[in-house]
Homo-oligomer: A and B are copies of this chain.
């Protein structure tokens, strides 16, 4: 922690700050410059002393406090080199490129099974589908709930594909765990800490979507919540952030892929469907994700997007998904990834 004093800070004020820093358990290294005094505080973990920065900055004679260490530990690249999450026969985070595909929302048996079989035949590894759906509008469809979970379980039996589905309410974590192979935390819930703690105690892998407003640092801190609950099977998912651009639903932050790879050992996948919001842009965004080093993608597919109950505009048809898988294959080979 580096504390920069205001110019003109008095010796008493400097002593006061030094004393406070010592009370937080740090050793102090003051540097008395010409224009101002800088105090380096070392020798104690910053992680458990988050209030230190805020408190020191509340003093009128302190200009600025900079933290030196990252605000997360266990999900950091410095803690571990690589995490591989294994689900069924699928690996996320190793040399595989994991393709999760399926409808935004489970609507009925026919829609789900038809999609499941088609995406499997096309080469997808994991089936996605929402039973509990967050909807901006209270008037929208909110999913079939438990019935949707049961349909997903039957689709898994039918195809052998593991399933990933969203959980929104901490009271449902236990129930969803009975059905799902991977629990998905949606973008709106990235900082729903009670939910993070609850899935931290689950014995199922968790895919944590980035909050559409969240920095990499905040995202990794959210992952640290899950880790501290005891669950180390975490997959990160970049799904686009909110910017001023309105042609696309979100701005897919492709930088996140290599950035997370240098900051963390956790696998990262990309959601090109929400990341673009337009089916016509999904193939290019998927190829880009693979080329940028992502460990997989999660793609919305619907047999008839023009009849979908949600996210029709960004869902691929079965044919478009097949074409996409075909164009992914040679790229995966070049990138050294098993598809």
Contact = CB atoms under 8 A, between A and B. Distances in A.
A281 interface: yes
A72 B138 CA distance: 9
Given A248-B259, A257-B284, A279 B36 contact: no
A218 interface: yes
Interface string A187-226: 0110111100000000000000001110111100100110
B280 A262 contact: yes
A50 interface: yes
B312 A55 contact: yes
| Interface residues of chain A: helix, strand, loop or mixed (majority) | mixed
Contacts of A51: 140-141, 308-310, 312
Contacts of A138: 193, 221, 224-225, 228
Given A56-B306, A244-B243, A140 B50 contact: yes
Given A58-B315, A247-B216, A291-B290, A193 B168 contact: yes
A338 to B, nearest CB: 16
A218 to B, nearest CB: 6
Nearest to A284: B258
Given A33-B43, A136-B218, A280 B306 contact: no
A6 B160 CA distance: 41
Interface string A36-58: 10101011000110110111111
A221 B38 CA distance: 24
A310 B51 CA distance: 6
Interface of A: 2, 4, 7, 20, 29, 31, 33-36, 38, 40, 42-43, 47-48, 50-51, 53-59, 64, 66, 68-69, 71-72, 78, 134-142, 168-171, 188-189, 191-194, 211-213, 215-218, 221, 224-225, 228, 241-248, 251-255, 257-259, 261-263, 275-276, 278-281, 283-285, 287-293, 305-313, 315, 330-331, 333-335
